[in-house]
């Protein structure tokens, strides 16, 4: 059975992430959406908030679970018995960094493959940072995040707060 990890900060989860989760869940038997707890990077949402938002959107998928990890992704993948890491690629600009990470991860463990899914072109401009920036200046983010996430983002960074 292929156990697959889709890692990220998910700060917050966007429709682009959800598209990858949806498509990967149809290709692989078991998908673990793994949220990075990074003590070196201040996230807008706490780890618990990010996990809760993800759980609220993945519950219809019976083969998807949400988990979190800290430290090296490859060590987490080993611990979970996963043999594939799935990443979304939005544009050429993502490629260089993702390529470097995939090679570094392969150097650390050559039995774990990184595979890429091209983003749906509808979502290729969306990132968690763009969502927060648009919301903070009063822009409409309804088409960028799942409905359950919309209010959480507006409460946290929406222009009405300022």
Helix axes 15-27, 47-58, angle to 10 degrees: 60
Residues that bind ligand PNS (CB under 6 A): 7-9, 36, 72-74, 101, 104-105
Q: Please say whether the beta carbons of 4 and 84 come within 8 A.
A: yes
Cβ-proximal residues to 109 (8 Å cutoff; 6+ apart), any chain = 74, 77, 78
- In the complex with ligand PNS, which residue's Cβ is closer, 53 or 162? 53
Q: Please say whether the beta carbons of 29 and 130 come within 8 A.
A: no
Residues involved in catalysis: 17, 41, 90, 128
Tell me the C-alpha distance between 36 and 38, whole Å: 6
Cβ neighbours of 20 (radius 10 Å): 24
Tell me the C-alpha distance between 103 and 150, whole Å: 35
């Amino acid at each position: 059975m292929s156990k697959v990890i889709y890692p990220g900060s998910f700060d917050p989860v966007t429709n682009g992430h959800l598209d990858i989760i949806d498509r990967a869940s149809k290709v692989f038997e078991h998908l673990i959406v793994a949220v990075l707890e990074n003590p070196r990077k201040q996230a807008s949402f706490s780890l618990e908030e990010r996990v809760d938002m993800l759980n609220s959107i993945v519950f219809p998928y019976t083969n998807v679970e949400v988990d979190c990890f800290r430290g090296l992704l490859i060590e987490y993948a080993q611990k979970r018995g996963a043999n594939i890491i799935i990443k979304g690629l939005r544009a050429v600009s993502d490629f260089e960094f993702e390529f470097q990470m995939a090679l570094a991860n392969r150097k650390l463990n050559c039995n774990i493959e990184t595979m890429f899914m091209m983003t749906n072109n509808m979502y290729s401009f969306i990132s968690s940072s763009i969502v927060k920036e648009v919301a903070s200046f009063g822009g409409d983010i309804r088409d960028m995040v799942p409905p359950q996430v919309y209010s959480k983002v507006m409460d946290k960074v929406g222009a009405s707060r300022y």
